[in-house]
Amino acid sequence: MIDLTQHSDVHVLFLETTEADLKAKDKSLPSDTHLVRYIKEGIEQISALRAYKSVDIFDALHDNGCEVLEIRRGFGTIRPNLYGFVKTEG
């Protein structure tokens, strides 16, 4: 997983994947997951990225030298603030 942290107020986390993988994991993903197709160094790549707004994804990738081809949302069912939350016994 890569964290693009050039923007001080925005963190965009992404992992290279496929649309089929995202659909298979849909129930375990946060709802702010986006499927993004982009070109980096002449190679088309597909990644799952987490961000609240699509423009944050576009800006982070563009600032890192990528040509964004497509941003699609609609993956994931878990509220972002609850993703990764581990209930502790108390």
Sequential DSSP letters for 67-78: EEEEEEEEE--B
> Which pLDDT does position 1 carry in this prediction?
47
Q: How would residue 3 be classed by pLDDT, with cut points 50, 70 and 90? A: low
Q: Where are the domains of the chain?
A: 2-82
More confident residue, 17 or 40: 40
> Which pLDDT does position 10 carry in this prediction?
54
Average pLDDT over residues 61-73: 92
Is pTM, for the whole model, over 0.85?
Answer: no
pLDDT at 11 over 70: no
| Average of per-residue pLDDT values in the chain | 81
Q: In 25-76, which residue ranges form alpha helices assigned H by DSSP? A: 54-63
How many C-beta atoms surround the C-beta of residue 10 within 10 A? 16
> Which pLDDT does position 90 carry in this prediction?
60
